[in-house]
A = this chain, B = another copy of it.
């Protein structure tokens, strides 16, 4: 289907917006009048800019309460509409959006409203233009598409039709199914947006806090499916009133909006009959991959941090696998875990370290069908990175993530050990202290980048987001959300903070952007693992004694078990299904990331969020070095 976006969804000047919209591959725009009011050039300048970018204007949207008004106000409104028609003529726009009157003075007289819309449509016809009428969830009398359509039928004019908006329907919990029965030629345009689960009044939600389709809680795909079933074949348009999006970098937002529309299309295509999907031109990319466990974690290091990190890994009972055959890369292993330390100068890792300091620059993810995964990435406009390889090396293409780091996509044919000159006494999957695999890789993101990460994981990888958590840092709230594949092979918690005084915000600012701040390894016996690590001198985070006093009072655990946990500084959480989580943290490595040792039991499917404040308080006590 064709994709459109409303200029009001983006921040920046009109020119910046239009460039970004064209670059993201949209075919058309909804132009808001206020964008013209702020634009220094004339209407002909706007028109040629839009033409030159290969865009068209799907819709022109002035702001006025048109219908259901007194005769005197109607005369003024008509006069004003004629001026807007002049503007549309100069711009080459054919469809004007009239949204339902939301003024308290709007009259409840449907006959009057219909007649006034009829007259407007007749005026539009004289200019070769059309009027699209839209219900508003906060309209005074016309709140549902059913109300709007009733008026349109009553007005009965070929130049008057309906504009449908997913927000106004779904945010007031209206079933969109009835849309499928509408006559196709009366649906002039379809606007899409989503909304978070905020307990706000609907007008505030709708004016400030909408979000990209797929990032909220509304069934936008179901809504689109109903319009397709009705026979709608026009563009899908992202019209998203969001203070956050308007504050975000315009080019990134435009690309994310385009991805979101494509993702809606994909969901619809898998819901409606094939014939209908084809008739509507719904595109269906390769499905999301089926994942194995994390194949490796790659850190970009320099000589000093590489040495420090190697020492650190040894206290954590990792064994050195060997040195790469052609690159300056060392590999460490324990259980299924592989960690590569990359010091190579002419590499992606080097560039990443220059920007972000010593940090995780790449992850390796194992998938069933590598080609399909890369096809999907390309279809969704993610950039594919192919690191230079020497003859005989495994070719390992990667997807660039929102922070610029890499997610390498590998399959069963990948064997990391083959690429390395093994240490003399190395044996695969060394037992070490009992760390068996990567449980999760957590990331700190800026508020502006957070949604891009959620999209990256949901759209590209098909991961499922869990509920959001608010964690109390001593200097503000940290918002967290985790994504995982259905089989729980890979888990990626994300966190951001609106305060700029949390440790997370400070780390972001010091390291120039988001990045991995947490790597959790799983064990089957956390007590023996932690004992072993302590003996080896691993630097683990200490937990205040008061935590265990409180735990004794609330958990129902026996004094012996609590005593053990107290001695080893192990934290405890349970979920509502009775699963349990034992975990312990390392100290933070150069303020960039920390490790976590976790043991899940009884189907525990969370991340110990209840204990995160204890960790953050302990980290804050140590302070940034």
Contact = CB atoms under 8 A, between A and B. Distances in A.
Given A11-B474, A83-B553, A546 B37 contact: yes
Interface string A588-613: 00000000000000000000000001
A500 B243 CA distance: 12
A328 to B, nearest CB: 38
Contact of A501 (B11, B34, B42, B79): B11
A477 B39 contact: no
A83 B549 contact: yes
Contacts of A275: none
A47 to B, nearest CB: 13
A617 B475 CA distance: 34
Contact of A499 (B200, B247, B550): B247
A240 to B, nearest CB: 14
Contacts of A475: 11-12, 246-247
A38 B83 contact: no
Copies in the complex: 2
A546 B60 CA distance: 15
Contacts of A554: 64, 80
Interface string A78-106: 01100110010000000000000000000
A499 B201 CA distance: 23
B12 A474 contact: yes
A219 to B, nearest CB: 23
Nearest to A15: B621
Interface string A514-558: 000000000000000000000000000010111101101110000
B246 A476 contact: yes
Interface in A185-217: 199-201, 204, 208
Interface residues of A, number: 55
A97 B247 CA distance: 42
Contact of A39 (B80, B501, B546): B546
A33 B477 CA distance: 18
A135 interface: no
Contact of A477 (B36, B247, B550): B247
Interface in A317-375: none
A431 interface: no
A34 B613 contact: yes
A502 interface: yes
Contact of A40 (B249, B472, B544, B553): B544
A172 interface: no
Contacts of A286: none
A620 interface: yes
Contact of A544 (B37, B472, B545): B37
Given A40-B542, A40-B618, A247-B477, 13 more contacts: A13-B474, A13-B617, A13-B621, A34-B472, A37-B550, A38-B618, A39-B617, A42-B546, A43-B546, A80-B553, A87-B549, A246-B476, A247-B475
Among all A-B residue pairs, the 3 with the closest Cβ atoms? A247-B499, A38-B617, A247-B476
Interface of A: 11-13, 33-34, 36-43, 64, 79-80, 83-84, 87, 199-201, 204, 208, 243, 246-249, 472, 474-477, 498-502, 542, 544-547, 549-550, 552-554, 613-614, 617-618, 620-621
